[in-house]
Amino acid sequence: MNKSLYLVGLNHTTAGVEVRETFGLADCLPGRIIESESGAQSVQGEEQQIIPLGGPIDELAILSTCNRVEIAAVGEQDACRDAVLARWAAARNADVEELKPYVYIHEDLDAVRHLFRVACALDSMVLGEPQILGQLKDAYRMAVKAGTTKVILNRLYHKAFSVAKRVRTETAVGSAAVSISYAAVELAKRIFGEMSKQKAMLIGAGEMAELAAQHLVTSGIKDIYVANRTFERARELAAQFEGQAIPFETLFDRLHEVDIVISSTGSPSAVIRAKDVKAVLKKRRNRPMFFIDIAVPRDIDPDVNTLDSVFLYDIDDLKEVVEENIAQRREEAAKATAIVYDEADAFGQWLKSLELQPTIVELLERNQGIAHKELAKTEKRLAQILGRDVAPEMHEALEILVDSVVKKVLHEPIIFLKRRSAEEESARRYIDTTRRMFNLDDEDIPDDAHADRRRKDIRDDVDARENDLGATSNNGA
């Protein structure tokens, strides 16, 4: 009855990169406390740091990326939250007070909403980015493998994945390009449509080129050439994508072979000029070429854009695309947020019914137990009267009878509880009252329990009557 769901974490909005590095848990796994015969406690795994399950924590899962560290946990109210913070800090050899200033804590329905938002990339630095969902799935797989998830976290994560899928299907929050490299490839797709038959060349082999290569491969491009002043780096990048490295000085000898050119060198002056491209177009028989210049200073002379069959975009053109797409994603994010809240509310109802269900089961079992004890006493008396034991058929019929009576007597109270469990805030109060009425938690209640409350009630009743009498007397005067 006092279990809660917590999400304890920090992210790029609450902690700088140094703090995220200090408290990152990428090398940590959730684990179980193992107790030996001697009573000594240890945790699973020896080769990696472990955030242990046990004590006030019933369930646990850890997500750690470059932009966020979050621990989802189920356990004893308050104590679970404090234990998560303490074990997190201990795993990084830090004091919990050093960690607290950067941490947010969500409980129950707020925790559900937050996790759904993370799964849908509504809480990401780049709104709608797709990587976080895969990272969340990896975190869940690790927790399942470690055996640290049970009913609530299992259902929570599966629901988060389905909510993310629904958001991707019903909104366009992840469809518009919001990185320069991605936008460049998206522009190429608009011009060429089907990309599998196109060839691309990357000029430069830095991070931007690597990202562009990833997006090109994802879009279906199979032939990628990499030209870089440091040939070894060109070869490394080409190898990542099964491409071909070419010496920088032979760039123009091979340029006519490609349809898409993405340039991102650190050159202080233009690498490609109009006169160079004229000769290339002649070799291509004027088949269209798409140049994307994401370098600053620019690698491709703007005059290239004056040539027929050439499409040239620089980083400012792409920024406009990115900003338009970010604005579009924000509009879509409002629709996605509405879906998240609907789904979180539905999950909250399930959590409430989960609390109610054990109470209903215990209520039925407790009363059936009493009925069966009374039946056994009655059968003993019947045996004395009849001079023989009750026949098995008779015993079975009587058991069915008493079970049926118990169910019918409890039918209306159970229906009442189910109705109240659907109401905000009142479910736990009614369930608590029911558990106390039937003492389902086997509490040892002294005979004089609540005596003070009864005396106070009596005094209040006497005072109320005296006030009523005084009021009547005054009215009569």
As annotated, the binding site includes 65-68, 124, 129-131, 135, 204-209
Question: Of the candidates 96, 56, 54, 111, which has an alpha carbon nearest to the alpha carbon of residue 78?
Answer: 56
**Dihedral sign, CA of 117, 119, 124, 127?**
negative
Question: Residue 187 and residue 215: Cα distance in Å, rounded?
Answer: 12
Q: What is the DSSP string of 276-298?
A: HHHHHHHHTTT--EEEEE--SS-
Question: Residue 62 and residue 109: Cα distance in Å, rounded?
Answer: 19
Please provide the size of the chain in residues. 477
Residue set of the binding site for substrate = 65-68, 124, 129-131, 135
Question: Residue 105 and residue 73: Cα distance in Å, rounded?
Answer: 11
> Which one-letter DSSP state was computed for residue 268?
S
- The SS3 call for residue 133 is helix
**Residue 295 exposed, middle or buried by CB count within 10 Å (0-12, 13-18, 19+):** buried
**Is the bond preceding residue 297 a cis peptide, omega within 30 degrees?**
yes
Q: CB of 179 within 8 A of CB of 185?
A: no
Of the candidates 28, 66, 80, 120, the residue annotated as catalytic is 66
Please name every residue paired with 5 in a beta bridge, in sequence order, or none if there are none: 74
Question: Residue 49 and residue 52: Cα distance in Å, rounded?
Answer: 9
Residues sharing a CB contact under 8 Å with residue 227, sequence separation 6 or more, in sequence order: 201, 202, 203, 204, 234, 245, 246, 247, 248, 250, 251, 254
Q: CB of 91 within 8 A of CB of 49?
A: yes
- The SS3 call for residue 68 is strand
CA angle 38, 39, 41 (to 5 degrees): 120
211-248 b/e (C-beta count within 10 Å ≥ 16 → b): bbbebbbebebebbbbbbbebebbbebbeebebbbbeb
Question: Residue 340 and residue 4: Cα distance in Å, rounded?
Answer: 20
Pairing outcome for strands 68-76 and 223-228: unpaired
Residue set of the binding site for NADP(+) = 204-209
User: Is position 80 annotated as part of the catalytic site?
Assistant: no
Question: Residue 26 and residue 142: Cα distance in Å, rounded?
Answer: 11
Helix spans in 193-267 (H):
207-218, 231-240, 251-254
Active site residues per annotation: 66
